[in-house]
Structure 1
Amino acid sequence: MNAAAVDPRPHYLRALDQLEKIVSQVTPDRLDLPTPCSEFDLRALLSHTVGGVHRIAYVGEGGLALDVPAAAGEIEDHAWAAALGRARDRAAAAWADDATLDRLAHVPWGVMPGRFALGGYVMEAVTHTWDIARVVDPGAALDDELALTALAIAEQVLPADERGGDVPFGRVQPAPAGADPTTRLAAWLGRTV
């Protein structure tokens, strides 16, 4: 069992801290640029990512994930970092009680103990940090240990042969020899790296 499955909260908060550092570099002139997450430009990816933090916060509060929109709604071009900060604070408060780890959580991919649901959002936050960094700071040094945790989750819950249809990830892509763990994670989740 990987470390995030035991208690994913520290990993998730670290992932959000890393994400905040990257999002703080977003400038309005880049919001219409494409991202490695091909269905989203940067503005749409930020909305999806902030919306995801609110969604897992709502799950930690006892709600059903699908009751919360997948996007954050209207955020002013200069306000993405503040919006993410508010979402992070909400998620931290929602998951502060240890009981959330074992309570059944209703997330888009099923019903499971909270610890496993939150682990999926560790994977999402780390991956979207990479996506966003490719647009705003391609040379950013991302947390290798955190990426290895997210990669272990991805390899466990998203086998290479179970892609397409209801699984919203493309086929595993090749990663260059010696690629850092976050790049390997992105490739595992179907990004061209």
Structure 2
Amino acid sequence: MSDEAAEQEAIDGIKFAHGEFRRVLGNVTPDQWTAPTPSDEWDVRALMNHVIQGNRWVERNVIAEGADFPTDDFVGDGDPIEVFDASMDDLWAAIEAATAEQRLNDWYVGTRTSEFMIHGWDLAKATGQDTNLAPELNESLLAAFRVGFEGYDRAKDGSYKDEVPVPATAPAADRFAGFLGNHV
């Protein structure tokens, strides 16, 4: 695959994943922002702040690599959906500029694709929505993560919990979530 084709595939992936995530986000009701998520440390509002932090991190690294992951409370007292949408507007602008200048690192774009899928699952689970998101994309992500995690020490890194067994007949999004340590 050419660099240009890989770049376009990454952009198509993030656009699709963003659409799926945004659809779930649009169904969150005001009383659900304090609901617990499958992640022990976050409620729905904190999960959204983490997703926005990720958007800002990728935006900054698409502009100039080397940015640290932000720890800011981007949501604060604001509307999480409006803050998310603003972060996406800035991320899209950074991706478009980097693409036009032929300097887009599609690895960063790919991280948002997988993050939108796993955190879309978290958000759907926390708010009682259908977790069967983007079956083909989640199947592809699960396969890629299985290969990428070969020899990876989850306990040492701490970013991911141990895999939780999920039936092979479960939807791909549930199996991907279980692979990343979420109880389905």
Is this a same-fold pair by TM over 0.5?
Answer: yes
1:20-169 aligned within 5 A: 20-66=22-68, 68-69=70-71, 71-76=73-78, 79-96=79-96, 97-98=98-99, 99-101=102-104, 114-139=105-130, 141-159=132-150, 162-169=153-160
Q: Share of identical aligned residues, percent? A: 25
Contact 1:144 1:182 in 2 (8 A): yes
Moved more, 121-130 or 92-101: 92-101
* 1:181 and 2:172 aligned: yes
Paired amino acid for 1:176: P
How many equivalent residue pairs?
176
Paired with 1:17 and 1:122, the residues of 2 have a C-alpha distance of 10
Paired with 2:72 and 2:153, the residues of 1 have a C-alpha distance of 23
Structure 1 residues 161 and 61, CA gap change in structure 2 (3 angstroms): closer
Contact 1:123 1:153 in 2 (8 A): no
Q: Which runs of 5+ in 2 are unaligned?
A: none
Deviation at 1:150, TM superposition (A): 2.3
Runs of 4+ displaced beyond 3 Å: none
Q: Secondary structure at the match of 2:140?
A: helix
Render the CA deviation track for 1:68-106: whole Å, top value 9, x for unaligned. 336524142xx22222222222112211233233xxxxx
Name the structure 2 match of 1:109: none
Q: Which has the higher strand share?
A: 1
Name the structure 2 match of 1:105: none
